[in-house]
Amino acid sequence: MLEYNQYHPPIECTLCGRCMEVCPVFRATQREELSPRGKKFLLQNSGKYFLERKRVDYLAGLCAGCKKCLDVCPQKINLPLEIARLKSAHPDWKSWIWSRMITSGPKIMPVLKGTRAFIPSIPPIIDNALADKNLIPPVLQISGRISHTSRRAVLFPGCVALHLRPGLHEKAIHLLDALGFETIKTPDWKCCGYPLGSAGLFEQEKREREKNLQIWVKLGKPDIFVLCATCLDGLKNPFFSNSSLNAQTGFRQKLFPLIPDFSGLNISRSNPEESRTIFWHEPCHGSGQSRAALDNALSSVNLDLTMMDRNCCGMGGSFAVQHPQLSRRIADIFWQNMPSSRNNLVLTDCSGCIIQLEATSPDSFQAAHWLEAIVFTP
């Protein structure tokens, strides 16, 4: 989140309105003041028109953090960063829970899972994330092993794979081993920083990312394969710390997405008789690499991968925690016009998207990380 200096002066908005065409919050509400253009106008003119600052900050804070507005803005205004500044100035108890879940996962997750029924007003997205999940039937069966290479690799699984879906971590390690890497035991990584920065928790973000850099150096600077698209986006962003810029540059150059490229391995259908429609949701922060690789893998066994419209699912990290009703409205739009036939599967490569898709999907759909659709055999 700190790829732009959080203290950099804001850029003036020309009110062109291009952002309104892509903003999921505006699409869900049709309220001008909740569009990126409207929020920017309020922030620029709250003093001029004597608008109540607290109200302006609340309206502006209704942002999913998808950065679609930044992608189309001719001024390259980073409104999600300006929103994060507001959150930093006005933290609430939900932000506190969010930060503790992320930075203290190993200690707090078991406690929250056991006591979630007794926590008052627990945000629905957190409640769903903590619930036990049923495994989806695998789609592909992978076997074989590539000759060992000299490349040393370590997995960055992310908070969800480590603390909520440990099966993801195990499968990812299995895949790296099968691809011939000298896989290092997964260290005690900290948060990638993205969900903390988007929530305005800048100091916590800085500390976590600094620790990750130190861990990588101690491991001997191996290649880092990242399981989550949003984690990868967060890890790649430069940040301001005591570490040298050379160390940060070297760290970013060693980051790679863990994609379903099974070249050299044996691929088959796990259940040739089963018929299901497989969809792909590209995360707002995704690169498209996982989708392309999975499409190739599925087509090799005569299966199709259908690309969904590239709409935001409404997760947005802390956004779904702080604004659950609006997050749900965005999700409902995401799912509209999808087929009602049974046995549909949506795959993605973002851990946050998985939680949101699981919590909001129609009965005719299951949602999972692409790695959960894989089974490894000897």
Tell whether 135 is covered by a domain: no
* Distance separating alpha carbons of residues 163 and 358, to the nearest angstrom: 17
85 and 97 part of one domain: no
357 and 300 part of one domain: yes
Residue 68 confidence (pLDDT): 94
Q: List the beta bridge partners of residue 152.
A: 182
Which parts of the chain sit beneath pLDDT 70? 1-10, 46-54, 56-57, 60, 90-123, 240-243
**Residue 181 gets which letter from DSSP?**
-
281 and 370 part of one domain: yes
How far does CA 278 lie from the centroid of its chain? 20
* Distance separating alpha carbons of residues 62 and 80, to the nearest angstrom: 10
117 and 61 part of one domain: no
How far does CA 338 lie from the centroid of its chain? 22
Tell whether 5 is covered by a domain: no
Residue 5 confidence (pLDDT): 46
Question: For the chain, how many structural domains are there in total?
Answer: 4
Tokens of residue 206, six digits = 């800085």
154 and 205 part of one domain: yes
Tell whether 159 is covered by a domain: yes
Indicate the pairing of strand 306-307 with strand 277-280. Answer: parallel
- Element (DSSP H or E) covering residue 376: strand 374-376
173 and 156 part of one domain: yes
Domain encompassing residue 353 = 269-376
Tell whether 220 is covered by a domain: yes
The helix/strand count (H/E) of the chain reads as 18, 11
304 and 335 part of one domain: yes
146 and 244 part of one domain: yes
* Distance separating alpha carbons of residues 61 and 86, to the nearest angstrom: 7
* Distance separating alpha carbons of residues 147 and 265, to the nearest angstrom: 11
* Distance separating alpha carbons of residues 346 and 305, to the nearest angstrom: 9
188 and 233 part of one domain: yes
**Residue 135 gets which letter from DSSP?**
P
Tell whether 264 is covered by a domain: no
Tell whether 37 is covered by a domain: yes
Residue 49 confidence (pLDDT): 56
Tell whether 1 is covered by a domain: no
Are 221 and 254 within 8 A, CB to CB? yes
How far does CA 263 lie from the centroid of its chain? 26
Residue 99 confidence (pLDDT): 63
80 and 101 part of one domain: no
pLDDT digits (tens, 9 = 90+) for 175-231: 999 999 999 999 999 999 888 888 888 888 888 999 999 999 999 999 999 999 999
- Give the dihedral sign, CA 122/232/183/347: positive
Are 138 and 171 within 8 A, CB to CB? no
Tell whether 334 is covered by a domain: yes
- What are the residues whose beta carbons fall under 8 Å from the beta carbon of 9, sequence distance 6 or more? none
Task: Give the angle subtended at the CA of 89 by the CAs of 70 and 4, to the nearest 5°.
Answer: 35
66 and 110 part of one domain: no
126 and 150 part of one domain: no
